[in-house]
Amino acid sequence: MRRLLIALALPLFLANCAEPVWAPDEAVARARYVSDEPPSITLFTVVRKLGKEGAHSGLMINGSQRIMFDPAGTWTHPTVPERNDVHFGITPRMKQFYIDYHARETYDVYEQTVIVSPEVAELAIRRVEENGAVGKALCGNAISSVLRDIPGFESVGKSFFPKRIMNAFGALPGVTTVVHNDTDADNNQALLAAQTTAAP
């Protein structure tokens, strides 16, 4: 029985072993982007078209700067420095790159936004910066853990499942939702290569 429990727990333990990434101060300062849009928290959920299961969660926060928390994500760009799954310099173009990278012929991207106070936005930024790198398959757990500590988002609750988090986020007062569709092929490595060579 003990061996069975260890065998079952080992994949989860290994998934939680994330590789730390820490961009230098100069790169983070250089990439800083300040949006003129109101302070907000935006949940991105990648949803399989066939079956409608949630596949990935990301969190964009617009406060004193705009950042993306993409736990256990694979999207990168050379002009967007990363510190443990927090990406800095999310300009409108980088936001679109992020969406395009995830939306494809078999997946849609749901963008849900809630306007918040500047204080709440800054708290959310601090919270994701303090979270640390996230292991594979634990994006939902990380996103929901962050949200439940932010005033106004406690009802989202903790979950490992992106679709469940999306539904709870969608029930928040004042949320707006945009669904992004695309017909790009599932193998999006060519798209990522094109994005990483594009100017910011």
Across the beta sheet with 40-48, the strand order is: 82-83, 86-88, 66-69, 54-62, 40-48, 107-115, 176-180
Average pLDDT over the chain, rounded to whole? 90
Exposure string of 72-81, with b = 16+ CB inside 10 Å and e = fewer, is bbebebebbb
User: What tens digit of pLDDT does each residue of 35-91 get?
Assistant: 999 999 999 999 999 999 999 999 999 999 999 999 999 999 999 999 999 999 999
* pLDDT at res. 192: 66
The two structure tokens encoding residue 120 = 């709440």
Least confident among 13-17, 27-31, 65-69: 13-17
Domain boundaries, the chain: 2-197
Mean pLDDT of all residues in 112-129: 98
Mean pLDDT of all residues in 90-102: 97
User: What tens digit of pLDDT does each residue of 147-195 get?
Assistant: 999 999 999 999 999 999 999 999 999 999 999 999 888 776 666 666 7
